[in-house]
Structure 1
Amino acid sequence: MTLDEAAEVFSTVTVTSDTLRAESDLHGRLELALNLTTGGQTPLTVAAYLAHDYAPPRYRWGPPTLFVPRFGQGERSPWFSALATRDGTPTLVTFAKGDRWRISSAARLVPGEKLPEIQLDADGYATAVAPDDKSVTISPQFMGPVHASVAETGSSGVTGGLVAAGPHTTEVAEQIADLREQAKSDGFSYDSIFSADNYPVYALRTEDGGALIQYSLTRTTTTTTKTAEDDYIPVPESARWAISSQVLRRTMKLTETHQYATVVPSLKSPAPAAVIAYDGALTRASGQ
């Protein structure tokens, strides 16, 4: 995979995706759009089409800065990342190849954050970090589960201190605790759980010996009535595309898909991992 080939993939896939998002009478646009996605981008794309009557928001991409790892000839699942503006916001997007090149992850830089310096060789190629790499404070394969734990239990859990506090980590745990108490006082039971599922993980070596890790999490929130059946559960506006009723009688389940990019320090300079990019949305809703 050369840098020029990666640039062509970026252009072809993003332009094709944008063309399919334009409102038209083309039959099977969603199926065609899904041919351009994999990983967490698949449920996010389905939800974007269904929630906007098959005319999801279109994106304007700027020119990319490419981070292309060197892979051996036998690599079955090559991938590369690119930093580009999407509707004016710096976004880290990753493309992965199976039978074809597809968008797997896209996360917008959090305001005030910037991408760390990625380690490049003399020819401008990046270095991929192995899933079980032990040179960083959190191996890439464990980043998702650790993040999920912090988002559920906050700084007091067993993973507290491994990931920096913030709106996508400890503050989510605080929100869950508050909503659980509020639901209890309103006669409901409430729980919200994060899971890494089997989404792919991508990691690039940074100049300081750390890693930039990209991964996805699923958040499943369940609300159930505990008292009389006239204690209805209100359906949030964001879920009305999937649930036609404004209230539900017994239970409601909301599933969200979130994508992140997190900087993990080298073991030589241990510090909490920091989430620097995020994107996500409600991708499924059901109830009765």
Structure 2
Amino acid sequence: MTARTLVPILIPGLLAGALSAGCSGHATSAAAGRAPGAPALTKAQAQQVLTSFAAGANRAGRRFSGKALRSVETDPQLSMDVAALRLRRAVRQRPPKLAFTNTTFYIPRLTGYPHWFAADTVSGKGTAAQRHALLFTQAGQGAPWLLASDPYPSENALGRVALDTTGFATPVGPNVKGLAVAPARLPQAHASLLTDGPRASGASLLADGAKTTETYKALKQGEQTLAGRGVTLSSRFSPAPYKVYALRTKDRGALVWYVLKQNEAYSATHQGRLTVSGDLVGLAPAKVARTRMDTTVLVQYLATVPPKGRAMISGMYRKAVTAHGS
């Protein structure tokens, strides 16, 4: 997060423009009673985690140090932000200092590890302000709290989370019933839609929008544009091997964090048609791609799932993490 840049779902340079320490706040309680389990930490302790994270991320940013990020982040966030730091180092542009304001914590009652909590917060000021849906995890007793995910929400999605009478949230299991789609099914449904289109199996579980059907259309248009330049692109999405997290919302739905992996393969009949540019800078030498380039991209999503209807995508963070040319 310290070094990320906002990038479209397609690689800039090849398909540019396809898409485009605060105090804890208060949220309205909407859940009657309490869920089983106990909160892993207090809101004051969560604030300490957030403050410590910002300090560690700023140290990493000043040094362009992916190694330093390991003290405050875990995958998938770590792999994505290490790649973003490599891009920053390549273009000699340090990230701005990170500080959070207007923070509200959403701490679920849990019965086992990993422990985790979410934070709705803002970094930057004015036109540079950016909202975050931070998700921190603790792997086991005594383990450090690390940032695992931070999809940028396009709205106040976390404001929908229900709180019990003492101000804590309720986790939602991956295979829970009573939702339009179980959280565990979201990654595959979304991957199918982005790979094979709106008629793919499970694609109808997600509402039309910029990060679903419009992304698929942009990918197809991008493939046609590249074909006109003598470049063939194939792109496939799949669920990434990371845990799905979810919190109960006030309407008895769920707010879900999950991750997809995008594998892209570019090929050209003539050398010089492929270049390492845009989001891929820093991942491979500029002239490594002669007639083929393969990339791996991680895409974090935040989805709002109602009891009935279709899931809406409320946030996203995309970053290429590997690039290989031949």
TM-score after normalising by structure 2: 0.78
1:38 counterpart residue number: 74
Assess, with a 3 A threshold, how the Cα gap between structure 1 residues 201 and 121 changes in structure 2: closer, same or farther: same
Which residue of structure 2 lines up, in the alignment, with residue 151 of structure 1? Answer: 194
Q: Where has structure 1 moved over 6 Å in runs of 4 or more?
A: none
Deviation string, structure 1 residues 158-191 (Cα, Å, up to 9, x no partner): 2232111122111121122223333444444321
1:95 paired residue number: 136
Question: Cα deviation per residue 1:117-142 (whole Å; 9 max; x = unaligned)?
Answer: 21111110100001111121111111
Q: Is residue 83–residue 283 contact of structure 2 (8 Å, CA) maintained in 1?
A: no
CA contact (8 A) 1:48 1:56 kept: no
Name the CA shift for 1:236/1:246 in 2 (closer, same or farther; >3 Å).
same
Distance in 1, matches of 2:69 and 2:45, equals 21
The correspondence for 2:84, drawn from 48, 58, 80, is 48
2: CA distance, partners of 1:155 / 1:205: 27
Compute the displacement of 1:202 (Å). 0.9
CA distance in 1, matches of 2:282, 2:267: 20
Q: Could you report, residue by residue, the CA deviation over 1:239-283 in whole angstroms, capped at 9, with x for unpaired residues? A: 2322323573221112222111100011xxx21110111122222
- 1:77 corresponds in structure 2 to 114
Alignment-derived partner of residue 223 in structure 1: 266
8 A contact 1:233–1:247 mirrored in 2: no
Identical counterparts, % of pairs: 25
Other structure's SS at 2:188 match: helix
- TM alignment of 1:173-188, pairs within 5 A: 173-188=216-231
User: Cα gap change, 1:81/1:152 in structure 2, threshold over 3 Å: closer, same or farther?
Assistant: same
Contact kept in structure 1, 2:301 and 2:313, CA below 8 Å? yes
The secondary structure found in structure 2 opposite 1:249 is: coil
Instruction: Indicate if the aligned counterparts of 1:154 and 1:171 stay in contact, CA closer than 8 A.
Output: no
Q: What amino acid sits opposite 2:120 in the alignment?
A: L
Structure 1 gaps of 5+ residues are none
Matches within 5 A, 1:103-118: 103-110=147-154, 114-118=157-161
For the Cα contact (< 8 Å) 1:115–1:276, is it kept in 2? Answer: no
Indicate yes or no: 2:40 matched with 1:4: no
Residue 56 (structure 1) shift: 4.1
Q: How does 1:118-267 map to 2 (within 5 A)?
A: 118-225=161-268, 227=269, 229-230=270-271, 232-246=273-287, 248-266=289-307
2:55 aligns with 15
- Is the contact made by 1:152 and 1:176 (CA closer than 8 Å) also made in structure 2? no
The residue that corresponds to 1:277 in the other structure is 315
Q: Find the aligned partners of 1:284 and 1:63 in 2 and give their Cα distance.
A: 34
Preserved contact between residue 283 and residue 323 of structure 2 (Cα < 8 Å): yes
* Contact 1:89 1:109 (C-alpha < 8 Å) held by counterparts: no
Distance, in Å, in 1 between the alignment partners of 2:66 and 2:274 is 31
Instruction: Select which of 82, 93, 106 maps to 1:67.
Output: 106
Task: Give the partner amino acid of 1:12.
Answer: S
Q: How big is the shift at 1:58? A: 3.7
Of stretches 45-54 and 132-141 in structure 1, the one that deviates more from structure 2 is: 45-54
TM-score of the aligned structures, taking structure 1 as reference length: 0.88
